[in-house]
């Protein structure tokens, strides 16, 4: 009888152990996700670890494992796309690649001036316009995608496209330029037109003096010429100089050829196309008229 009672007691204890284990499993799967409270007693022991698939202690979705139990892939980081669009050229850059960029944009009608090689606000606006036309984000800076689209849509710039000699359009000639032999110089269009009896023989871009040393306006005549001349005041070369008003002259400027309108003269009329000015120098005679106007 004692043996039978002992067997029954062991069976009851085993059943209780099975029931207790089942209760832990159910609690762990409870949507509340919490462990046992101190008041639950032995029938609900505290959970020591969160089972696979439950939320992390911080509750952050990004810290949760995937459905297959593996940790999240680091490739999901948002910095991946940012690195893929790293800028090749942007505002403030200065290089020959920027000059090519500007020349190619000009071919497509997005850049309306001579390439300078400097990436400023005008270049940024031109890039933005190109990007929007291509359906790309209008960042204003050139990433690999933008550059490849530009290469595909344009041709390799020629030497003249990269460093053009004449880019500005002539405006309507001043009435004083319509008769005789005249160097007709417009501050409005920044051009010099060599005219004979109202006909334009040749033209070229020019720049003028700064606010502190302005180029004088009015009607003058060529007083004298010097194929090779160096300024006695500023000690800078003035090739193909044609003096028309005191020390002011039309002459070639290497600085104008290199920097464009980023600089200014000390009052002279600078020309950046040496070949055109050389040909003009041979045609102009002392006494020919010079008109500087707006």
Confidence (pLDDT) at 165: 59
Residue 176 near residue 164, CB atoms below 8 Å: no
Residues 223, 278: Cα–Cα separation, whole Å? 18
Beta-carbon contacts of 3 under 8 Å, excluding residues fewer than 6 positions away, are none
H or E segment and range at residue 80: helix 79-84
Are the C-beta atoms of 55 and 33 separated by less than 8 Å? Answer: yes
pLDDT reading at 98 higher than 70: yes
CA neighbours within 13 Å on the CB side: how many for 243?
14
Count Cβ atoms within 10 A of the Cβ of residue 126 and give its class: 0-12 exposed, 13-18 middle, 19 or more buried.
buried
Burial of residue 133 (number of CB atoms within 10 Å: 0-12, 13-18, 19+)? middle
Work out the number of other CB atoms within 10 angstroms of the CB of residue 65.
13
User: How far is it, in rounded angstroms, from Cα 44 to Cα 27?
Assistant: 8
> What span, in angstroms and rounded, lies between the C-alpha atoms of 131 and 118?
19
Strand stretches in 3-121, DSSP E: 87-89
Mean pLDDT within 41-63 = 40
Q: State mean pLDDT over 265-283.
A: 94
Checking if the pLDDT of 250 tops 70, the result is: yes
Q: Identify the weakest region by mean pLDDT among 92-96, 105-109, 221-225, 286-290.
A: 92-96
pLDDT at 215 over 90: yes
Alpha helices in the chain (DSSP H): 2-28, 79-84, 96-107, 121-133, 144-153, 159-162, 254-259, 274-283
Residue 258 has pLDDT above 90, yes or no: no
SS3 146: helix
Instruction: Name the 3-class secondary structure at 153.
Output: helix
Residue 244 contacts residue 263 (beta carbons within 8 Å): no
Query: Which residue spans within 128-217 are E strands per DSSP?
Result: 142-143, 181-186, 191-196, 199-207
Identify whether the C-beta of residue 236 lies closer than 8 Å to the C-beta of residue 172: no
Element (DSSP H or E) covering residue 84: helix 79-84
Between 109 and 167, name the one with better pLDDT.
109
**Residue 292: phi, psi to the nearest 5?**
-110, 120
Q: Is 99 exposed, middle or buried (CB count within 10 Å of its CB: 0-12, 13-18, 19+)?
A: buried
Output Rg (C-alpha) for the chain, integer angstroms. Answer: 41
pLDDT, tens only, 67-97:
444 444 444 344 444 445 789 999 989 899 9
- State the chain's mean pLDDT as an integer: 78
Q: Which residue has the tokens 């089942």?
A: 22
| 3-class DSSP state of 131 | helix
Supply 102's token pair: 């500007």
């Amino acid at each position: 009888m004692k043996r039978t009672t002992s067997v029954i007691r062991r069976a009851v204890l085993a059943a209780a152990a099975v029931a207790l284990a089942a209760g832990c499993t159910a609690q762990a799967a409870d949507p509340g996700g919490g462990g046992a409270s101190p008041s639950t007693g032995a029938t609900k022991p505290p959970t020591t670890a969160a089972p696979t698939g439950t939320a992390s202690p911080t509750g952050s979705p990004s810290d949760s494992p995937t459905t297959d139990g593996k940790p999240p892939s680091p490739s999901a980081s948002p910095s991946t796309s940012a690195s893929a669009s790293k800028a090749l050229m942007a505002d403030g850059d200065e290089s020959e690649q920027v000059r090519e960029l500007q020349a190619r944009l000009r071919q497509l009608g997005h850049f309306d001036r001579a390439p300078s090689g400097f990436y400023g606000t005008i270049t940024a606006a031109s890039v933005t316009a190109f990007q929007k036309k291509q359906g790309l984000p209008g960042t204003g800076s050139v990433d690999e995608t933008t550059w490849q689209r530009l290469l595909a849509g344009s041709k390799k710039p020629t030497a003249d496209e990269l460093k053009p000699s004449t880019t500005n359009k002539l405006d309507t000639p001043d009435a004083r330029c319509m008769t005789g032999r005249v160097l007709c110089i417009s501050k409005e269009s920044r051009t010099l037109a060599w005219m004979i009896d109202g006909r334009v023989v040749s033209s070229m871009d020019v720049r003028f003096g700064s606010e502190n040393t302005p180029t004088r306006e009015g009607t003058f005549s060529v007083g004298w010429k010097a194929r090779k001349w160096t300024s006695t005041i500023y000690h800078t070369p003035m090739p193909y100089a044609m003096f028309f008003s005191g020390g002011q002259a039309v002459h070639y400027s290497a600085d104008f050829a290199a920097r464009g309108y980023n600089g200014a003269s000390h009052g002279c009329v600078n020309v950046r196309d040496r070949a055109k000015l050389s040909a003009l120098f041979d045609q102009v005679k002392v006494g020919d008229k010079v008109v500087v106007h707006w």
